[in-house]
Structure 1
């Protein structure tokens, strides 16, 4: 079997794998907390989304995206894709804090962009292997 048919992502060093898992667990903790807070309607989140002016539907949408992304971070094959999606979510948050709210709330999203971007890069082989993995599951090889 040549490499193009192999659904197993290439191995990486122990240190880089440990860093990936550290980022995955840290990201899970942050995003599950923030996502649940948005879905539960914690006052700070509800007020922030009110100030944005897009309506509370956006709070629910972002909350679902954060919870789904957090769960995806704990699944190694999906963690790179989840990290990429979460990077987009927090990029939106950083831009919103800078351009719409004009406050200092952009700092945490920028840190999360860097951390989730690093995780997406570390797990890029897993992300690249997803199409062939799914084709294999569907029996379409």
Structure 2
């Protein structure tokens, strides 16, 4: 079996970040699991530009914060509105110098899809215990 793919996960709830981080295994290794939008917007651009802060200074200690292997993707939660997602993305582009040298793709989960699936009884509600596993399955 190959090594898990290293990724960065950013959301707004510590408990949800921890649950999703765990359910991404064994295929993906969430080495940074941010749960504070403002802090993640400061830390992630530094990480992907090759200038990560010292791991102990980060707001999140849910994951290894081992930046020796670069991430292969960045995933944000549904709490990131279009505007927040664009601000986050552009701060990462700026830190890397340009869109052309941005080293990773960005993905965002959709609360709209989760809400629609819940209404259609094809998926769990955001507040349910089943939600982290369901959103992780969609991400994979």
TM-score between both structures, scaled by the size of structure 2 = 0.28
Structure ranking higher in strand proportion? 2
What TM-score does the superposition give when structure 1 sets the normalisation length?
A: 0.28
Which of structures 1 and 2 has the bigger CA Rg?
1
Name the one with the larger helix percent: 1
